[in-house]
Structure 1
């Protein structure tokens, strides 16, 4: 398997510029979050409700909301549109830049190794995982406030009529801290999530298409697999993050007074045990599999499309 065959296509310096990667990333982020938004709304509601209410929300979501009031599942989507574009632009541009630099640095230590060897594959996985972790920090710093607004509006009893109203209310009642109280937890979840996702994606892509050419089917399959693996591993952290981001809308005093990771984890464990950390597991995986597949597919397509020296023979493959 010759990973080097795909290096020219993937690398920042060879084909795509920083600006092109940013544009492709922005479009990928918007597409990823918007298409699967209703399922994500159900996941949020499942994670914040108490056990007796959980059955009710599943039944209601499947029988009423999805048929008669499906529009309620789209509340807060404009927050995602506003935040996902810039955040994903920074994310993917940073990822490509760091991946190339790390790959070049690692290759200096193994330049005598045969292309496609286990050493080459290992270097690619290390570079991809590390670059993903670095890019995630920048992404989460930009996206967390928008994610807070999104989840506040996704709640079943939300009364906010617009993202602007939600932002104004949260700020006036809870201050700027409310927008970043979950940031440490978000980063602690996102870094392993993105590290696993990027490394798994690059590994699957290389396995499914050793030539490294632009291949929509491979990008989609590799994206779906990486999304499923990463979301499965990080679900407990996602439950904690959701509790912290929605605490201001809770009528439960203990939840409203949660100040961070430890408090949220203690509340979840005391009330629901270990299984409480896997609330919303299925909708989270069902959200991340297609959304990650969409994200990578859109990103790879626009990166290829915007690349100035792409090979014309691939045009017929769209």
Structure 2
């Protein structure tokens, strides 16, 4: 059984291979790095509460655990588990499908990887955007919600369904370049470190971590604006109307924080993205490898069984 069975995937390995692998990768990535994600959300606040004005990721985690309890670092994780599975299943499946359709050998064409990343991002964000709204409102300091379901009902009742997609345009504007850079960087690193494209956990981890770091830095200003649109925390503290749209978010951030405001929480985002994307890619590649190998082994046994039956029938004659 050839190594390229894993990379190219045989016909017997349907899109379910990518979807199962993607779902597992997405849930693990978000759950493992969730406490740092919570810190990032808080550090992006435009008008932070004095009790939640953190100097660094470590300082934030230390204060949250000390004054609020360990459980507060995981507030909102339930909604992420529910949303990340299907979102990442479609995300990786779409990426692999588009990549295979546009590329002759599935490698070496980084423009194709970028286009595939764009298509995958749209599907991912349609599912994930409402999840992000609930998650970030649960993460902010002094969140009034006790459960994710209470938060969902409250937002739906007071702000309407549009609140769950208020940041959708900004999310796409951020995630399309983020994921394009992310996928292209990952594939470039794989070309450098794993030219044969065999299953190699070390190269998947290094390539994934590098891809996440580069993409996180480039798209940081958009992430700050997305957090503002999702949480509307600035509005609740200053009692003004809702911030709607990417342009309004950019203006609001600049008004209160200036240029440095677009990079608030950068350290937390990079610290989160490096292991998160490393975990995501290594988990995805492992499950893809495992499922593809098992499928190939079953095919091999089936073919061998047919040959044995044929040989047995011939000898009995």
Scaled to the shorter chain, the TM-score interval is: 0.7 to 0.9
Give the aligned partner of residue 32 of structure 1.
Answer: 29
1:47 to 36, 44, 48: 44
Contact 2:6 2:288 in 1 (8 A): no
Indicate if the aligned counterparts of 1:9 and 1:15 stay in contact, CA closer than 8 A: no
CA distance, structure 1, for counterparts of residue 192 and residue 94 of structure 2: 24
Relative distance call for 1:135 and 1:253 in structure 2 (3 A) is: same
Other-structure match for 2:96: 96
Distance 1:141 1:54 in 2: 34
Tell me how far 1:293 sits from its aligned partner: 0.2
Say if 1:54 and 1:65 are closer, same or farther in 2 by CA, change over 3 A.
closer
Give the alignment partner of residue 239 of structure 1, picking from 217, 224, 227.
224
Distance 1:54 1:134, change over 3 A: farther
The offset of 1:47, in angstroms, is 0.5
Q: Secondary structure at the match of 2:86?
A: helix
In the alignment, the residues of structure 2 paired with residue 211 and residue 54 of structure 1 have an alpha-carbon distance, to the nearest angstrom, of 52
Question: Which residue pairs with 2:83 in the alignment?
Answer: 83
Is the Cα contact below 8 Å between 2:7 and 2:198 reproduced in 1? no
- CA gap 1:13/1:191 in 2 versus in 1, 3 angstroms: farther
Q: State the partner residue of 2:246.
A: 261
How far apart are residue 67 of structure 1 and its match?
4.2
Normalised by the length of structure 1, the TM-score is: 0.86
Residue in 2 aligned with 1:309? 296
SS state of the match for residue 251, structure 1?
helix
Out of 53, 56, 71, the residue aligned to residue 53 of structure 2 is 56
2:145 to 135, 143, 160: 160
Asked if 1:21 is matched to 2:18, the reply is yes
Q: CA deviation at 1:73?
A: 1.2
- Number of corresponding residues: 291
Secondary structure at 1:309 match in 2: helix
Bigger-Rg structure (1/2): 2
Which residue in 2 is equivalent to 1:111? none
Is residue 278 from structure 1 mapped to residue 263 from structure 2 by the alignment?
yes
Q: Please, which runs of 5 or more residues in structure 2 have no aligned partner? A: 299-317
Match of 2:238 in 1: 252
Q: Is the 8 A contact 1:12 1:18 kept in 2?
A: no
TM-score by length of 2: 0.86
Root mean square deviation, CA, Å: 2.3
Determine the C-alpha separation between the residues in 2 that align with 1:150 and 1:55: 18
> How many Å apart are 1:209 and its aligned residue?
1.2
Kindly indicate whether the alpha-carbon contact (under 8 Å) linking 2:31 and 2:81 is maintained by their aligned counterparts in 1. Answer: yes
Deviation (angstroms), 1:290: 0.2
